[in-house]
Structure 1
Amino acid sequence: MQDIKPPAESQVIEQAVKLGLCAVFLKFFLLWGTGSSVAFVISSMVLGEILGFAHLIFYYTRIRLKYPPLYIKREETLPYRRIIGDIISTALPISVSRITGSLFHVVEAVLVPRSLQAAGMTPQRSIALFGKLTGMAVPLILLPSIMTSSMAMTLIPEISEDVSLNNWKGVKAKTLQALKLTSIISYASASLFIVLGKSVGLLIYGIALVGEFLPFLAAGSIFLYHSAAISSVFRGLGDQITPLKNSLITSLVMVASIYYLIPVPQIGLKGYLLGFVISSLIGFILNLRALNRRVNIIEFAGSWFFMPLIPSAVFGLVLFLIYSAFSSYIREEIVRICLALFTGLPVYLVFAVRYRILKIEDIRRIMNIKIWFNQLFFG
């Protein structure tokens, strides 16, 4: 059906209920104690999930009433076993991927503070440092995924349709376009965090240390965003196994980096940052090689991966020059950052169009605020 509105609305409802009730509970029931507050927060999360699911059921029921089911001859229908098998073959790898992802997050949350303690930090210092990294710096780096994920959300049904029509030229064209737009977005965000990372961290959180993490994370995010785009192509092709296997490998690399690098006193938390970059790069290479066996995209890497580096380098230079030029005249951090962004972004887009990396319709697609807003609430 290619209708992304119902799941988007469902996630908006779910996240709005979660955030709203969490804010209320933490404000009025925090005095009851930490245990009661945590119980209320968990209850709000469960209620949000229930209401989001109820919205999907309501929408599905309304569609069934509006469009009566088609009557198909029995001999034209697939056997129930095959239908169930197709559903399981799609759902099981996705479920396993989500479960293993959650397990690896738990392993990281346990392993990183202990590794920092092995490097000589106190328990309080190690937990605080890990919280600043994963609770402050990482969400900032993942913020541009609002745009890349929204494109991936529309990419899956479009590629599935082309596959069903045996239109492999269409699959290749859509894949290259998605990778090119991913490069445009990821390079721009990486330039911002590499050049102004410390200033952004200080502005948002008031903690300079958070900004020191951003340049390293920004380098890894480039490969992370491209891997996510390629994984969406695989899902459109009906292949759930390849992204799952590559995701497991990258997670193991990340855990190994935490286990072996962070306990070294001379490395410390930089081992996490190095592991993030290396694991993201390995995941990108594995996904790229696997997809290239089915859709030849490495041959065109110059247009979608290397060429966008030119406008991103110009963008970073403009950010640095504008921010530095007003440092002596404007003391407010937010004003200098906004001036640099409002000057740099138009220059970035002009260079991207000049080098034929972007077309006007691509810019309109990136600037689709409605899709951004829907994707913002996708958990």
Structure 2
Amino acid sequence: MLGKQSFIKGAVILTAAGLTSRLIGAVFRIALAALITDEGIGLYQMAYPIYTGLLAVSTAGIPIAVSKLVSENIALNNYYGATRVFKVALTLLTISGFVISLAMYLGADFVVTYISRDPRAYIPLVAMAPAIFFVAIMSTFRGYFQGQQTMVPTGASQIIEQLTRVGIALFLAVYLLPMGLEYSAAGATFGAVAGAIFGLLFLVFLYFREKGYMAEKVKNQRVKERVSFGEVLYRIAQLAVPITIGSLILPLINILDLVIVPQRLHVAGFTTERATALYGQLTGMATPLAHIPAIITISLAVSLVPSISEALTLNNYSLIRRNSDLAIRLTLILGMPAAVGLYVLAEPVTQLLYNNVEAAIPLRIIAFSVIFLTLYQTTTGILQGLGKTVLPVKNMALGAFIKVIMGWTLTALPQVNIQGAALATLVGFAISSLLNLGRVRKDTGMKIDYSQYLIKPILAVSAMGLLVHLSYFYLNLFFNNLYAATLSNAAATLISIGAGMVVYGVMLFITGSITREDLQTIPKLGPYLIRLANALHIL
């Protein structure tokens, strides 16, 4: 049997898998940007909001609902109930995945005519449509394993999915490039289909390998409450529908951006080609960089749901408060340096990764959304674990409404243009996350120590930001005398990032932002970090 993990250990496993996947994805984006330029990236990105929106309709809330219900049943030793939840969810997602996949295929012409308004986006949309079917089924298996508080299957399947996706996507993008940008972009989007198939096959293999253990538990269960398909479906829907609506908001925002941003850039005086390029810089270059730190908090949120759900089932409120406090502090400790680092190194990073310093303009603004996006994800995981699935939806809807109003107004101003869309995103996430945090405090009784949550980490991140700025400036001057500009920038950027990480880590100990108790929760690495900190006399 795959072992149960603490929520921190589960988060570490998912984070490692997520970072590996994002690293692979970053290499893919760099290569793809070099192949099809920012205009081609714009076509590629025009398919993705539609795909993610429809995927949210077919899957989003159900894996989390499965995770929560499976963990609740296992906490009560109801293994029959846990397997029943999985089978009902699998049936539901197989059907919904097929229907939504077909809808995306048949509706592609409508999308390019009335939404993206670029007919070249048709082929990338159609090529990606089958992925929804396979991802929907795959997400059920992930939710089932997560409910058992074992995150290895999800993490491993993510890496397999990403490796396959990137390999196939790059091969097809190169192979189809002579036919035109739209065909090359379509080859890139088809990678999602191949990745989903291989990720699903891996999870199916694990399920059948582990099936005997759960079957034995069900067999030995004395009392088996016979619950109808409809009753289980209702319980899943009760949790999943609000989560699905909440998960739909972000893809819907992206679709609205697809409609609003290019259109309002036209109003500001930009040509279609230039508007598409600016849209590509925001959504295909700046936003993915700002979302990298969210890998960790998504992992925290996924791991928190079954952990808090189990604690709630057992009425262990002290554990709920302890896990919530630790998760939120970790979120801020990780989100703040990521935001400041992206702001300080916006130009060097976009030059290094995309050979496009213009993308630094929206990146400098959207960098600070990292803090609020990560906080929103973590607090959403806590609220979902508590069964408060509607609240994050309401809070995100309010933030999204304000974002749309701001984006519509600011993006049409010639002197603001794409920066307006970035600023609107920042404000929207800030509102949603702070409303979430307020409700977590109320429902858990958690006390916020502002010194530990904000003041100490801000001192640490300020020192890091100053060092990174000075480090890059002087290193770039030094390397410019030795190497070509591109190599000089790469060396100065990478060394500055490394130096910033070291300084920030040391400052966390010096300011007391991280305690011995915090380190003890980190599996395997924690004891090593304690010994290292003691040797350096900073703990």
- TM-score of the superposed pair, with normalisation by structure 2: 0.63
Alpha carbon RMSD of aligned pairs, Å?
Answer: 2.5
1:111 corresponds in structure 2 to 260
Q: Tell me if the contact between 1:176 and 1:304 (Cα under 8 Å) persists in the aligned partners.
A: no
Q: Tell me if the contact between 2:456 and 2:512 (Cα under 8 Å) persists in the aligned partners.
A: no
Note the alpha carbon deviations across 1:197-225, whole angstroms, 9 max, x for none: 22222222222211232221122221111
Please list every run of 5 or more consecutive structure 1 residues that lacks an aligned counterpart in the other structure: 369-379
Count of residues paired in the alignment: 368
1:299 corresponds in structure 2 to 448
| Mean CA deviation greater in 34-43 or 280-289 | 34-43
- Where do residues 86-105 of structure 1 align in structure 2 (5 Å cutoff)? 86-105=235-254
Q: Tell me if the contact between 1:147 and 1:366 (Cα under 8 Å) persists in the aligned partners.
A: no
1:136 corresponds in structure 2 to 285
Please list every run of 5 or more consecutive structure 2 residues that lacks an aligned counterpart in the other structure: 1-147, 481-487, 526-539
Q: Larger RCO: Structure 1 or Structure 2 (Cα < 8 Å, ≥ 6 residues apart)?
A: 1
- TM-score of the superposed pair, with normalisation by structure 1: 0.88
Give, as a single letter, the amino acid of the residue that structure 2 aligns with 1:341: I
1:52 corresponds in structure 2 to 199
1:31 corresponds in structure 2 to 178
Secondary structure of 1:106's aligned partner: helix
Note the alpha carbon deviations across 1:17-63, whole angstroms, 9 max, x for none: 22111111122233345565555545442333233233323322222
Q: Pick from 320, 336, 339 the counterpart of residue 492 of structure 2.
A: 336
Query: CA 1:333–1:173 in 2, change beyond 3 Å: closer, same or farther?
Result: same
Deviation at 1:292, TM superposition (A): 1.9
Q: Pick from 347, 361, 366 the counterpart of residue 503 of structure 2.
A: 347
Deviation at 1:129, TM superposition (A): 0.8
Query: CA 1:17–1:271 in 2, change beyond 3 Å: closer, same or farther?
Result: same
Distance 1:254 1:234 in 2: 23
Give, as a single letter, the amino acid of the residue that structure 1 aligns with 2:490: I
Q: Pick from 51, 54, 61 the counterpart of residue 208 of structure 2.
A: 61
Query: CA 1:203–1:236 in 2, change beyond 3 Å: closer, same or farther?
Result: same
Q: Pick from 360, 363, 387 the counterpart of residue 211 of structure 1.
A: 360
- Where do residues 51-200 of structure 1 align in structure 2 (5 Å cutoff)? 51-67=198-214, 68-71=216-219, 72-74=221-223, 76=225, 81-200=230-349
Distance 2:186 2:361 in 1: 35
Distance 1:284 1:306 in 2: 19
Q: Tell me if the contact between 2:396 and 2:429 (Cα under 8 Å) persists in the aligned partners.
A: no
Deviation at 1:249, TM superposition (A): 1.9
- Where do residues 366-377 of structure 1 align in structure 2 (5 Å cutoff)? none
Distance 2:442 2:162 in 1: 39
Deviation at 1:273, TM superposition (A): 2.0
Deviation at 1:136, TM superposition (A): 0.6
Deviation at 1:113, TM superposition (A): 0.6
Note the alpha carbon deviations across 1:216-240, whole angstroms, 9 max, x for none: 1122221111111101111222222
Q: Tell me if the contact between 1:224 and 1:280 (Cα under 8 Å) persists in the aligned partners.
A: yes
Distance 2:456 2:226 in 1: 48
Q: Tell me if the contact between 1:314 and 1:348 (Cα under 8 Å) persists in the aligned partners.
A: yes
2:160 corresponds in structure 1 to 13
**Identity rate, percent:** 27
| Mean CA deviation greater in 343-352 or 36-45 | 36-45
1:377 corresponds in structure 2 to none
Distance 2:412 2:360 in 1: 23
Q: Tell me if the contact between 2:172 and 2:188 (Cα under 8 Å) persists in the aligned partners.
A: yes
Deviation at 1:251, TM superposition (A): 1.8
1:223 equivalenced with 2:336 (yes/no): no
Query: CA 1:363–1:299 in 2, change beyond 3 Å: closer, same or farther?
Result: closer
Distance 2:500 2:252 in 1: 40
Q: Tell me if the contact between 1:119 and 1:268 (Cα under 8 Å) persists in the aligned partners.
A: yes
1:244 corresponds in structure 2 to 393
Note the alpha carbon deviations across 1:346-365, whole angstroms, 9 max, x for none: 22112211222113575684
| Mean CA deviation greater in 255-264 or 45-54 | 45-54
| Mean CA deviation greater in 315-324 or 47-56 | 47-56
Q: Tell me if the contact between 1:184 and 1:308 (Cα under 8 Å) persists in the aligned partners.
A: yes
Distance 2:433 2:320 in 1: 19
Distance 1:328 1:55 in 2: 49
Secondary structure of 2:431's aligned partner: helix
